[in-house]
Structures are given as structure tokens and as C-alpha cells.
Amino acid sequence: MLIAIVEDELKLSAALESYLSKDDFDTTLYNEGNAALEGLINAPPDLVLLDLMLPGLDGLSICKEFRKHSTVPVIMLTARVEEIDRLLGLEIGADDYICKPYSPREVVARVKAVLRRTSVSSEDSGNQRLVLDESVARVLVDGNVCILTAVELRLLKAMMERPGQIFNRSQLMRRIYTDDRIVSERTIDSHIKKLRQKLSAVCATDEFIHSVYGIGYKYEVPV
């Protein structure tokens, strides 16, 4: 597992590197924002530890831009607790937040927890009820073929990568459109509605996409 550490304070990044390597993680280090974004996109790690305040591009902009290219988990490192509330409100797509000062041990524990949480879908792909076949834009539901549009495919993929996680409409919007176009939230609702209709046409008994009142949607396979 490769962990990218984006941190300009060398003392901190060295401590993280040493603790992560004790747990058999490989690490790659960036201490400047623009180089970090370029590196993360060109050589994606398995997880990113991302400091907020950086020379060059800041952590916030890096996370937003990186999210257009990748669903690799991102843990933000930030100096103040109050900052976390603000970041959550901005919906930058981070998977977790750690407040500075932190103990490197705590960071390693959080890295493992986030990796466990986010790798569930790929580990279980052998016995999943829904199997995405991106090359031909279709999903198999219990082996039954369901043909999707490109947008429906991206929507479903984004949610399937994080089972149980609630996505709001703007998060989903960012996943399905690679440009910065503005579409109304109703557009997402109508894509979701069609996606659900298609899924229920091949499996009438179970719902895989669930509405969460006032927030958005989540993917969850009924047990």
C-alpha cells in the first residue's frame, strides 16, 4: 500500500513516514502543492494524507481537483478543530479529518480505518450482487443484465465505491461531470430516478440506492 504524504513541515512528514513504514506502508512525500497535485494524478497512491496549509496550491484546492480524477481516499490534516467544521461545509470530498497536533500513531490508526472502510467494495467483488461492467456500460444484478447510460454508470460507480456512505447531490454532480458545469440538483434526482427504475426492472424485490431525507443518496445492498 502506497501512502502519499503532502506536508511541508519536514519534521512532521518524517515522523509520519517512519511510523507508516513500521506498519509496512510505502510512502511518497510532497512538500509543495502544485507538485503534489501533479504527482497524485500521475502516480495515484492508495491513500493521501493531505495538509491544509501548503506552499503553492493549498490542501483544499488539491483535494477538490484530485477528486475530479480519483476516488482514492483522502485524509485532511488541519491545524484547528474549528477548521474541520468549515471544511465539512465545503464538501471537498475528503474521507476523514485529523486535527493537529496529532500523534503519528493516531494517524496510522486512522489510515488503516479509512482503508478498511473504503476497500470493502473491491474485496467483496467476488460475491457482490451488483457487478459493474464499465467497458460496455452495463451492470449485472444477480446476473441479470441492465444497460446504463454513461451518466448512470458514473453515478452508480461513485456510490458503489463507498457502500453506506451518504452522498449529497453536489458530491454526485462532481463525480458525473468532469467539467465544472453547473446543473440543477433536480438533474441528479432525475438520473437517480431512471437508474433506480432500470435496476428495479431486473430486480424488483430489492432497493440498492436509498434516499436519505434532506441529504442525498447512498448505495447499500440489502442483507
Binding site for Ca ion (CB under 5 A): 8, 51, 53
Taking CB atoms, the residue at the shortest distance from Ca ion is 53
For residues 97 and 219, which CB has a smaller minimum distance to Ca ion in the complex? 97
Strands (DSSP E) contained in 52-103 are 74-78, 96-99
Reference 222, options 202, 206, 211; nearest CA is: 206
Q: Nearest distance from residue 23's CB to Ca ion, in Å?
A: 23
* Residue whose C-alpha cell reads 442525498 in the numeric block: 216
For residues 53 and 72, which CB has a smaller minimum distance to Ca ion in the complex? 53
Q: Nearest distance from residue 65's CB to Ca ion, in Å?
A: 18
DSSP string, 31-49: -SHHHHHHHHHHS--SEEE
Q: Nearest distance from residue 112's CB to Ca ion, in Å?
A: 23
For residues 44 and 56, which CB has a smaller minimum distance to Ca ion in the complex? 56
What's the CA gap between 147 and 152, in Å, rounded?
A: 9
For residues 68 and 100, which CB has a smaller minimum distance to Ca ion in the complex? 100
Contact status, residue 73 vs residue 95, Cβ threshold 8 Å: yes
Q: Nearest distance from residue 36's CB to Ca ion, in Å?
A: 12
Q: Would you call the peptide bond into 45 cis, given omega within 30 degrees of 0 as the criterion?
A: no
